[in-house]
Structure 1
Amino acid sequence: MSWKTLDDMDLNAKRVLVRVDINVPVEGGRVTDATRIERIAPTVEDILSKGGRPILIAHFGRPKGKVVLDLSLRIVIPALEKALGHSVRLIETLDGAENLTAEAEAAEVLLLENIRFYPGEEANDPDFAARLAALGDIYCNDAFSAAHRAHASTTGIAHLMPSCAGRLMQAELEALEAALSHPKRPVAAVVGGAKVSTKLDLLSNLVEKVDSLVIGGGMANTFLAAQGLHVGKSLCEHDMAATAREIMTKAAAEGCEIILPADIVVAREFAENAASETLAVHLCPDDAMILDAGPQSVRRVAQVLDGARTLIWNGPLGAFEISPFDTATNEAARHAAERTRAGQLISVAGGGDTVAALNRAGAAEDFTYISTAGGAFLEWMEGKDLPGVAALKG
């Protein structure tokens, strides 16, 4: 590892500035999913147990450098205190952070108000970063999900003081390095979703790194069409056909096998329990939509998983949100989970739809690691340097 962790730092009696991601969904004045909050608990507990004083830095929504009362972090404090098991004090201004009151000094954990209320944050203003750095002795980044942003609290501050990765950041980096940088081979990837155009960099990088690439979802239709197959009224980027062929040519040159659906599940309407039929891939009717991969395709994916030691998963294989078009995603995910549970596969997954799909399949808990980082996860998989990670390397 080229970056330090909390184990490398002397935290006793130190003020530790901790960049966290607690940008959680809120409805009716309360947090509806505290997963991101719960995942920072090990870092905060570690700092406290080693005599440190955690000062949390976080964003919430997109206030764009202005104070927006509806985007105050005050709303997350009850969920934060529950997850951490410690009292949390909100510091409403930087002036307040620089001149703490007796009540604030007594709190176990401090939380700075929404860092994106300040224009200097997203501008990565050096003076603003210096002002933040002056609040602490050590910087700890535990927000991998914000690591693809070159902001003051993710990169600027890291260059100004001793810095390390928090436990969540550490787990994320170790999982991703195990999956892509130093994987056990063979390596398989499952990439699905609606559009090829949004995952060009990802596909281009993966064909250089993996042995087998399963393509599903709407983007598989684009690859099928690029091979001259009819896809009816399916979601398909016909203008990306040449690009799809280029990716297939590159994969062949790199020794990466691309697996596309061999059979398809089609319907005339996109609706729950719509009438559907399973056909060979070349028999899609002109008036139908491909909404899932068929059983023959699922068996082929299972064969790929059986031969793999490492799996990277991003995106569903079909319209997983509605039955029966969730079948391929569910069955493949459960097979990957079973192989992982048996100790035969290292499985790493990430991306918004991916997490939802694996949860729906009941497979998420058995995957080796599931990233909630979204954009940062994708950029890492695309082979890009993330500013927030690079800054920790000093």
Structure 2
Amino acid sequence: MKPIKVGLLGLGTVGTGVVRIVEGHQEDLLNQVGAPIEIEKVLVQNKNKQRSINIAPGKLTDDPWEIIRDPEIDIIIEVMGGIEQTKEYILEALSLGKHVVTANKDLMALYGPEILARAQEKQCDVMYEASVAGGIPIIRTLLDGLSSDRITKVMGIVNGTTNYILTKMSQEGAAYADVLKEAQELGYAEADPTSDVEGLDAARKMTILATLGFRSNVSLDDVDVQGISSVSREDIAYAKRLGYEMKLLGIAERQDEYISVSVQPTMVRHTHPIASVNGVFNAVYVHGEAVGETMFYGAGAGELPTATSVVADLLAISKNLKLGVNGKNQLPTYREKKLKTDEQIASKYFLLLHVDDKAGVLARITQAFAEFEVSLESVVQQPNPTLPEAEIVIITHDASKAAMQKVLKAFQSMEVVKSVKSVYRVEG
């Protein structure tokens, strides 16, 4: 029985997990595929490094081309990261007729259409379940499980680092800087946490999910991105007092063929399932016209959860190999991309204003909202013992992004408004 041979690019956390699962689940893989799956060669930076798993020294190489151009290797698994050079490796592998599994969200967000087009040209499979939300099978769900439905909204916590930080700030009343330092010490955040805390990591994942959910070629430039570095303890305390939790949400919406995609700190009503997703866990909420509301929850990172998704893709490609049906998947994008304008993007908003503590201020504030046809759900004015100004907390009804921008601009010219302390989207 001829084995299916695999080349593994990268033996870090996820690569190690892939080896553990493939070697430890051989009986299951054999019975599901009908052939053994063997990891033939592994790309590493240092062949002499001590590792937590045993791999025959002859299988290790520090030359990626040795793996990519090996005629015996059927499938390339890429878990090494990187973008430009990695793209070159994958395109070459596809040109040589090899199938590809990747966990690389950055690569797929930026070059997914080009890679998938090359795969279709060469009748090869490319699968990338692990690129979003670790062990949660959300990509397969959008491509297959919900393929008969029309998705109208994908909303998710897709970055565990920021969810950990906001959870600790909420539960312990801690300051952002203190929790970030703790997250770095625990290994949840990188030494340079910019990609996580400023929302870029989540934006890349939402690019992939929006592309698949709406069948349109969404690019990273289409995502409106705001991170959590400006979220304060005061913001979270107000959110909790009003019955909300603060989460960094990726939100992709479609209405009448027009779409919008954003990543931003969002106040989520405590009764919404996503509000209870804490720590480093991820969750993706999907709304379809037919299925209604669904939510997928689980580990968004880690050696074995992410490796589980990688090996699931490996299994799917191996089954296609045995059946001789590789490369039959159509490109996932076939609808023209139509982006919403600021007038079409609507949501509820939370605002915290510092204003002069004197009569008539509230009337002027509410008049500005009325002028731009933004209706208000609740308004609370109260003194702040630590400030000479009063605080006004406002939650609006659904309002367009354009109208809110006009309201905020109007506040800039009001002497009684000392500062617009916070503005957040409200969900649920």
Q: Structures share a fold, TM > 0.5? A: no
**TM-score between the two structures when normalised by the length of structure 1:** 0.35
Higher-Rg structure is 2
Greater share of residues in helix: 1
Greater share of residues in strand: 2
